[in-house]
Amino acid sequence: MADPFSVAGGAVGIISLGIQLSKEIASYTAAWRDYDEDIQILGIKAEELQTPFKRLRELVEDTRLTDPESASDLNEKASSLQRQIEKVKKNLDQYKPVFPDRSIGKLRNKLKKAAYPITTRDALRDMKSDMDGMQSTIQTALAL
């Protein structure tokens, strides 16, 4: 049986990463606000995910001492979340706008916006689908 502290520590780290990613997505969508409905939906989904991630983190912290078996199961769920989080993070890093501090940043943003219908729209839909999967995983873990 795994050490309850290491099991919970790994899960808490992954969940914290999910919370951070949700905040980053919300910031990303604010930078492109009112540009497209897909971006708006993604921002809403990211904001909605923050609360379940926080509840899951609390559950992991509460069960690590009292119920090592549940803590181990939650760690498995967190590992699944980690793969989803990493996939969304990779897409986000590729398509997020550059915050212009120079004229090059402004030019990059214009190019990204021009390419939006061709490249970014599908990536945003993939991110939303992955975030829906995260939400399902979290709901399953919280239902334990």
Q: pLDDT per position in the chain (144 positions), as tens?
A: 455 445 556 788 888 888 888 888 877 777 666 566 777 788 888 889 889 988 888 888 888 788 888 888 888 888 888 888 888 888 877 776 655 566 666 666 666 665 555 566 777 788 888 889 989 988 888 886
Helices of type H across 1-144: 4-31, 37-66, 68-95, 103-115, 121-142
Indicate if the alpha-carbon torsion angle 78, 79, 81, 82 is positive or negative: positive
Q: What is the pLDDT of residue 119?
A: 63
Residue type, 64: R
Q: How many CA atoms lie within 13 A of 4 on its CB side?
A: 12
Q: What is the pLDDT of residue 56?
A: 87
Task: Provide the residue ranges of all domains of the chain, joining segments of one domain with +.
Answer: 4-142
Q: What is the pLDDT of residue 37?
A: 72
Residue whose C-alpha is closest to residue 42's, from 61, 29, 58: 29
Residue whose C-alpha is closest to residue 63's, from 113, 21, 7: 7
Token pair in block for residue 42: 């993604």
Q: pTM for the full model?
A: 0.64
Residue whose C-alpha is closest to residue 5's, from 71, 69, 58: 71
97: which DSSP letter?
A: P
